[in-house]
Structure 1
Amino acid sequence: MNFILHCVQADRAAPHFHFDEASSIEAVEKEMGSRFLDGESVFNVEVFDYYLPARPEHLDKAIDKLAVRSGDDSSFLDAYLIDGESRDGLISRLAPRWDGVFIHLVEKAPLELEVVVALVDAAITSAAQDTDYEASDQVAEFVSEHYAQMQAFVGETDAVKATDLIALLRRLGAQISDLSLLGETQCKAAVAAGLYPVTRMNLSVALGESTGLALDAMNAADDSVYRHVLANLDDYLDILQDDEVTVESPDAFVAVLGDVADAAEFAVRLVAVRAADSCEVADLTDLDDGAWGQVVSAGRFAPTVWNVSQFVSKFGVNEELIENLGTVNLTKAEEVEEEPRLGLAYALANSGALESTAAVRLLGQLDLADGLDPEHLSDVGLALLPTLLEKDLVPDAADTYALVSDRPFAFREEYFAASKQLASYVCELELSSDDLAQVMRSRRLTPTVKRAIADDVDFVTDRLSRQSVIAFCQWASKGNNVSVELLVKLAEAGAPAEHVLGLLEPHLPDIELGLLDQILLGLGDDYEPLTRTGHHRPRLKDRDGTEELLKALQSRNRVSSFGPAKLLGGIRVNMRH
């Protein structure tokens, strides 16, 4: 026989040698035995067609050789896959032996698509679990795209095989895009392994249509689905509709956020903000502090003094906290010791991040028995002093004012206006003559404060300047009486006569003549002649209060008479002599 002579005895493969009939192959085997089946001549398409369907074990050594050599030389394998009649059988025998079978079928075999699908199906069905198959993106994409056409995925099978199938799928890097296309057992295995993208359809299949998409509902229904979703939170959040919540039960909120933080910390805020309205973290310390910022940013924490103090002790008064503190009220201050409340108070006051009214509102909610010690306020915190003073949160005392005494008057005016006790200590303050002028002009300071200043002649005297004198006189002219002693100082400091004369009028009936003379001398040369008798005849401007002054001097035998000055105008005074 030619085949024996040219192929078996020569140990040469002839893939397309044609046998007249199948019995010829049997005859070769009988005559040549293992020399035929173990040699190169066995690599013939018709030989493989003969043995694969009924006696595939006769080809075990040949298929072992294919597994070794096909990575470098796949000529016979490709020839048989093109022309052979039992190619599924060959792949089923080859797949457990050859780790490159999937790469070859998908990327290299010169076959039609439907043939490749069938052969990959055969390879998957017969793959060995202990073989580390070569894979690639192309293989993963192919299996992911065509699994629904493969019996391995849609046919009946048992749980063990289904589990092995999904394990192989994972090793190949493939994924089930639509769970509904799988057989029931394969579907359960895929769900357990988490080998599917998170879509609404897949979650419906995995959980059952009656289970909602809230994370706590998933956790209660199927832990494997829950863990898979946690590993793919981006996809999960994308599929939620606007009216769907991430967490339904307030009781499960903290536990779910903890799981989310462990899986993907970035998603904590996104999950928290989309939870049911009733969900909030009662105690931040129940969560890892790495999640606090996102929970606070989402506004899903109970605004208790405890929570805020714990947060601030870790992260300070940061942007996430500020966004919420502007609109919430602190609660349960009584459950926190005084020291941490004070620490929180100074942190809030000194942060400078909160609008002043919000900061002071929050400070008031800390229920500090003795308020704040202004010595512990930074420059930023001291900017709140007027508002703190108004709310009785700092001592209303000279020592408090001293901390801001070098600030612009506009700020200090806010302080003065807020103070309830200023009248009791205003004359202890380091005020300049310019300050005194502005204080006396200010419409925001209470009359009692200005009266307290006016009643302390020494305090006023030390601060008199042209501006403060005028400001004092203008204040006094509005029905605010001043003492004779102060009038003396005002006159001596250059107070204009038109102001002094009006302020002097109530005192004329009983003022000591010596004090009156001091005032007149202070008014300057025009009024000095009135301090002595003689033949001189001074002329005065006809100002309000002038006649009353002259009448008083007349009653004291200093002035003889007075009347209009005919030529130059004013009042001519005749002194006694």
Structure 2
Amino acid sequence: MTGAEPSAQVSASDVPAVPPSPNGPVPESAPLTPRTPAPELTSLAPEYREEWHGTYFAILKRAIDDQPDIRNIALSGAYGLGKTSVLNKLAEEFKGRVIKLSLLTLGTEPESARQGASQVPAADTKTNRIQKELVKQLLYQVNPSSAPKSRFHRIRKGRWKAELIPAAIAGVIGAAAALMLDLSGVTSIGLVASTDIPWLHPVVGALAAGVAVAGAVVIARMVLHGRIVIDKITAGPATLALPPRSSTYFDEYLDEIIYFFEVKKKVEIVIIEDLDRFDDPGIFESLRSLNSTLNSAAQLDKRNFRFIYAVKDSIFEKLGRDESASDTDEAQAELVRANRTKFFELVIPVVPFITHKNARDLLNGLLADHRLEIPKELIDIAARHIADMRLLHNVVNEYKVFKHQLLDVPNPVPGLLPQNLFAMVLYKNTLMSDFEKIRLGRSHLDILYSRWRTLAKENTERLRAANRELHEGIEFQSSARDRAERLASQFYSILDTLQTAPGSFISVGALTSISEELRSPETWRNLIEDGEPVVIQGIDRNGNRKQMSLNAAAMGRLLDTELDTREWVARSVPADEERIAANNETLEFLRYHTWEGLCRRPELKSPPPKGSPMSFIEWVRLLMASDLAADLVIHGYITSYYPLHVSTFYGEMIRPAAMSYIIHNIDHGQPDTDYQLNSEDVEAILRDQGRSILTERSMYNISIVDHLLTTDPVDAETVLTNLASAGPEELEFIDAYLAAGQNAVSFVERITPQWLDIFNHLVANPPGDVKKQAEFIEAAIRRRRDRTSYEISDPVRRFIEANYLQLAALTDPNRGRAAGSVIDFFQEASARISSVRGLSSAALEHLRETRAYVITAENLEALSGSSNISLNQLHSALPNDAYQYVFTQPRAYLDAVETSRGTDHAIDTPDLLVDIFHRCQRWPVDAIKRLVANSSGDCVVSDLGNVPEPVWEALVAEQRVSITFGNVFAYFEAKGSIDQPLSSLLSGRNAIAAASEADQEDRAKLAVAIINSGAASGHAQHRIDLALSVSPGELPSSEISPEPGELVGRLIAAGLLADDESAFDSRLLLDWPSYEFAIRSSTNYLDLIGAETLPGKFIEKLMSSDSVRDDVKESALEILDELDGITRAGFQSIGDWALRTKATLSAPKIDAIRAGGAYKTTVFELLSQAGGLIDLEDLRAILRKLGEPFSTIADPGRKRPIFPADYAPQKILQRLKDAGIVSGFRPKGPHHISVSLKQD
């Protein structure tokens, strides 16, 4: 907390009860306290001291007495060296011969363009204005009566004696006129007594007229005295005007100047001071010229006029300067400036007797002379910047007055030390204009004050923010592993759900691998910082590999959380803790620092509107108008209480710190959050301003709120009500108070009922470490209003879930009621406690009534009081709502069961089986399966109708259901087929019980379904046995699904399929083995064989099969011409079978075999085997179709064909020989027969 400079403590007994009033008399009830005598001040008038000034006076006196040619003398030196003292001594020495001229001002700067301005441009030059002032001063140093010939009529005081002569003359003239006009009639009005003397009457009348005229003249002159002047020629009230014919005032009024010295017959020394104030060297040329004129004027009796000038040395720098000269003339100009004898015949330098080197000793001596004690360091600082004797005297004088008024009083300014007051007097004497602005709050010190508060505020906020970030980093580092575990589990759960979705290609192996990787904080750090995505691999239904890539943004959306880089940055906790400690030290300094102390902390900076940040000492150097002022601040002599150090303090009720806050903040309606006030200060402010001030923003001060929360909660509520409006300024103060306030917990408790967004703000703007943050959250929880909906965001939920053990109400065994309130808040925030380990028994008692915890083995065991967390046990141990809560977290509960060492099964006994399955019917299918799988072996459902349909699949899959017709048919009806779970169930059973009472149609429907369920339900005979167990009767072949193998044959054999043409439908018999077994199983196939029951494509397999009877094959030959699709191999197979069985085929059959593509030798052998059963012409026709060599023997000719002996052609050759076609045949070698045809 940034603070004001410490103030002195003043007890109530040290001050009177009633303060003096600066604007009126002291109240009668106030005791009058005697004051110390008024201080005696040192005159600032010039004082001649022989040891300092004697030399210069002697030189001047010698020049006047012994050196008549020296007429222009310069006494040169800086201000304050005693030049006036020397000249005053000179005037005293030559009294009557000296006239002094001093120009302190030239009046208002003339406006060159104003209406009616002088027509002479030179009139407004600085030189002419100086000449004008000199002329005016000369005019007023002579008595008007002594200069009767002066053309200037100056106002002077009327004198009766001077008016009598004009009045007497006027009276005589009036009397004479009366005599001439015979005013004897005056006697008729009783002016004279009756008399008989005739001439008396005219005489008396003339006298009366003369007296009247004289009186009138006297009265008129007295009334009009000085009121009639000559326009434009005045001195003082008269005006001197420069006519166009003259270029300077000296030229125009030279006669007046000479007349002046004619009147002043003894004056011959003119002392001119302060000309150098106007930096106009040209005036010296004019005065030198005037001096020459006066010395050469005959009417001045050849007096030797001396002009003595008091000037500063620097004025000579401008002598001879020509502003229009080029730089190349600078050297010449330097020579001109150096030649001061051009203007003065004698230059007397005044050696400085005070410099910044010895001013310290002089000031120290002055203070010692007046018995004033000021620290030597402050004297040194003042001496370095003040080297003027008169100013030093004035500083001491003013300090004595200020000290008398502010320190030497019954009620001095608390905390004001002599050095502070002396520093402000120094400031006043060197920066008078700025000092005057202090009372208006517009001085450079006020600007510095504002920058000070800004710097303190900005650095305080910066350090608090840095500490918040460091605390967050430490917390993130310590909780990174837990956070990674939680997010990994959440992610695994989501992917687990996706895995069961239709079309998913995610594999369980991939999930396990991903989950393990995500349990490492390093994985999350790489994901967020380096952009390394999480990659999930899997295989789709077509066997193709696929990848799913999730970046940080996608993971955040999927997990519904903000992945903040700060939460995963690897940090050094010890280093962060050291930085926090260092920051806290600086914050403590900022709370109780002084300007002097802050100047020693250059690392604390504040940026200006433009430019780089600046430290406080840099601000001091920049803003203070002088180096002295800056040094006084830097060394601690001018403090932040400076407004109280420059005026009378009426501080019985208002202390300095309080008054400073009123001046700078309350009066301007601006708060200063960290300005340090103590309780007495706050009370003083409230007494002075009234309680109504509590509604103002200026009350947003940490010290004020601290005091109110401690002493007057009602008044505190007024301020907190304003803060609860939560505007930008209010939120800024709330954050500052929570970080630095002494009653921060009470603050939170009292503002919570009025501020519905407090929880969000406390989490979003942590005031410090997690422990403090949790303390504020708990305080807000305790004091939240009933039946009021507070704003609770996900960050609030996540915070209390991560830091619930920091909430004392949950761990303190003596705070049972508070624990209930906190747990209720958890429910409102939809937050859950991850582990109940460490919670008090009272907290556990409240928690078991809620759902505000994560379902884990540890938590359920603790809340149920048993190591067995089966649903049967939880049903008896937990309240109904808590028991039902378990069913809302299926996977979490099943995970808990699997990790609980004391739990063998999720369901121990079947007594609650139906109820449990009704409660879990909304679970995911995989979770229901896990539940059923985790139930004890005797948990079997005898009637599926008693449990919800969603659990049937799991029960069937885990074979926890009785194999009855009702169960099997109900499941079949629900699924619409015999699915894999039911197939698995049926594959292990030989019969389905309790089917006799079922409807025949349902039995047939189930039987067909079982038969059609395929190998998953067992081999064909097993399925047929199951079908037979439900007595379905004969099944329509149209409902049987085609299946290669023995199914159809066994169905025919079992009587489930009619032994008719429908059983041999090509739709059912997909391959030859199916046909072969069906033919073998049929007793009616000989009657059924035909084009519809024997596809031609199977002739080859039929004729070569050893299991098919020959009568069937013979029947097949009978319908050979009806069959389609017989292949070449099929025809060859028929021929081979006929040759093998010695069957005699007709010519059409043999020709059909030939046409079907059988081998020629096979056809020839069949013809030979048929012998005479085939007509000769048919034989010859077939031979012709066989091609050579067989076609050559069908007709006579000259060829001699040769046949292989193994063809056994003898029978056919003999028959052809008998028919006269072949003439003979004989063996030719061991393997051939040579045939001779009969020639035509």
Fold in common (TM above 0.5): yes
Distance 1:124 1:433, change over 3 A: closer
Please tell me the residue identity of whatever aligns with 1:148.
L
Distance 1:228 1:378 in 2: 47
Distance 2:830 2:1102 in 1: 81
Please tell me the residue identity of whatever aligns with 1:214.
S
- The alignment-based identity, stated in percent, is 20
Distance 1:35 1:412, change over 3 A: closer
Please tell me the residue identity of whatever aligns with 2:1015.
L
Partner of 1:535: none
Distance 1:375 1:20 in 2: 102
Tell whether 2:1004 aligns with 1:342.
Answer: yes
Tell whether 2:939 aligns with 1:260.
Answer: no
Distance 1:462 1:232, change over 3 A: closer
Distance 1:267 1:408, change over 3 A: closer
Residues 542-553 of structure 1 aligned to structure 2 (within 5 Å): none
Partner of 1:395: 1058
In structure 2, the gaps of 5 or more residues are 1-652, 1122-1130, 1151-1161, 1177-1204, 1206-1226, 1229-1240
Tell whether 2:940 aligns with 1:280.
Answer: yes
Distance 1:25 1:488 in 2: 136
Q: Retained in 1: the 8 A contact 2:870–2:897?
A: no
Deviations 1:408-465 (CA, angstroms, capped at 9, x unpaired)? 54432111222356578779996699978865753324xxx556988x9xx9766699
Offset at residue 78 of structure 1 (A): 3.5
Offset at residue 264 of structure 1 (A): 4.1
Deviations 1:362-387 (CA, angstroms, capped at 9, x unpaired)? 33323326332324434459972112
Distance 1:429 1:35 in 2: 111
Q: Retained in 2: the 8 A contact 1:389–1:415?
A: yes
Partner of 1:193: 850
Please tell me the residue identity of whatever aligns with 1:310.
A
Q: Retained in 2: the 8 A contact 1:140–1:173?
A: yes
Partner of 2:972: 312
Secondary structure of 1:293's aligned partner: helix
TM-score, scaled to structure 2 = 0.36
Partner of 1:81: 738
Secondary structure of 1:180's aligned partner: coil
Distance 1:407 1:227 in 2: 55
Please tell me the residue identity of whatever aligns with 2:1074.
F
Partner of 1:213: 869
Please tell me the residue identity of whatever aligns with 1:219.
H
Please tell me the residue identity of whatever aligns with 1:202.
N
Offset at residue 298 of structure 1 (A): 3.6
Select the residue among 805, 810, 829 that pairs with 1:153: 810
Partner of 2:898: 241
Distance 1:174 1:493, change over 3 A: closer
Distance 2:1146 2:1016 in 1: 44
Q: Retained in 1: the 8 A contact 2:774–2:803?
A: yes
Distance 1:466 1:175 in 2: 82
Select the residue among 994, 1008, 1015 that pairs with 1:354: 1015
Select the residue among 321, 328, 349 that pairs with 2:982: 321
Partner of 1:119: 776
Q: Retained in 1: the 8 A contact 2:870–2:906?
A: yes
Distance 1:413 1:95, change over 3 A: same
Select the residue among 981, 984, 992 that pairs with 1:331: 992
Partner of 1:370: 1033
Please tell me the residue identity of whatever aligns with 1:64.
T
Please tell me the residue identity of whatever aligns with 1:338.
Q
Offset at residue 195 of structure 1 (A): 0.7
Offset at residue 474 of structure 1 (A): 4.5
Distance 1:433 1:169 in 2: 80
Distance 2:1165 2:1001 in 1: 60
Residues 31-110 of structure 1 aligned to structure 2 (within 5 Å): 32-69=689-726, 72-110=729-767
Tell whether 2:1101 aligns with 1:444.
Answer: no
Distance 1:522 1:150 in 2: 114
Offset at residue 32 of structure 1 (A): 4.7
Please tell me the residue identity of whatever aligns with 2:910.
P
Distance 1:112 1:356 in 2: 65
Distance 1:377 1:334 in 2: 23
Distance 1:401 1:169, change over 3 A: closer
Deviations 1:494-519 (CA, angstroms, capped at 9, x unpaired)? 899999xx9xxxxxxxxxxxxxxxx9
Distance 2:807 2:1017 in 1: 69
Distance 1:467 1:356, change over 3 A: farther
Please tell me the residue identity of whatever aligns with 2:760.
I
Distance 1:380 1:40, change over 3 A: same
Distance 2:767 2:1018 in 1: 78
Q: Retained in 2: the 8 A contact 1:12–1:40?
A: yes
Partner of 1:545: none
Distance 2:741 2:1149 in 1: 126
Which has the higher mean CA deviation after the structures are superposed, 283-292 or 421-430?
421-430
Offset at residue 245 of structure 1 (A): 2.1
In structure 1, the gaps of 5 or more residues are 478-486, 503-518, 526-540, 542-566, 569-577
Which has the higher mean CA deviation after the structures are superposed, 152-161 or 118-127?
152-161
Residues 396-411 of structure 1 aligned to structure 2 (within 5 Å): 396-397=1059-1060, 400-401=1063-1064, 409-411=1072-1074
Distance 2:999 2:966 in 1: 9
Tell whether 2:1173 aligns with 1:522.
Answer: yes
Q: Retained in 2: the 8 A contact 1:350–1:381?
A: no
Q: Retained in 2: the 8 A contact 1:28–1:36?
A: no
Distance 1:260 1:434, change over 3 A: closer
Q: Retained in 2: the 8 A contact 1:17–1:44?
A: yes
Offset at residue 196 of structure 1 (A): 0.8
Residues 501-540 of structure 1 aligned to structure 2 (within 5 Å): 521-522=1172-1173
Distance 1:345 1:244 in 2: 39
Q: Retained in 2: the 8 A contact 1:371–1:394?
A: yes
Please tell me the residue identity of whatever aligns with 1:305.
F
Distance 1:180 1:409, change over 3 A: closer
Distance 2:806 2:851 in 1: 21
Deviations 1:253-304 (CA, angstroms, capped at 9, x unpaired)? 3332232122445521221222222223333333333443343334333332
Distance 1:215 1:381, change over 3 A: farther
Tell whether 2:1049 aligns with 1:386.
Answer: yes
Q: Retained in 2: the 8 A contact 1:305–1:366?
A: no
Deviations 1:12-32 (CA, angstroms, capped at 9, x unpaired)? 54545555663x544554565
Deviations 1:516-572 (CA, angstroms, capped at 9, x unpaired)? xxx9843899xxxxxxxxxxxxxxx9xxxxxxxxxxxxxxxxxxxxxxxxx99xxxx
Distance 1:137 1:72, change over 3 A: farther
Which has the higher mean CA deviation after the structures are superposed, 98-107 or 88-97?
98-107
Distance 1:130 1:405 in 2: 73
Distance 1:497 1:9 in 2: 135
Distance 1:12 1:112 in 2: 30
Distance 2:931 2:1147 in 1: 76
Distance 2:946 2:694 in 1: 72
Paired residues in the alignment total: 502
Distance 1:438 1:523, change over 3 A: farther
Offset at residue 176 of structure 1 (A): 1.6
Distance 2:812 2:724 in 1: 28
Distance 1:208 1:230, change over 3 A: same
Please tell me the residue identity of whatever aligns with 2:806.
Q
Q: Retained in 1: the 8 A contact 2:759–2:796?
A: yes
Say which one has the larger Rg: 2
Distance 1:356 1:167 in 2: 54
Partner of 1:269: 929
Deviations 1:102-121 (CA, angstroms, capped at 9, x unpaired)? 33333325434433232222
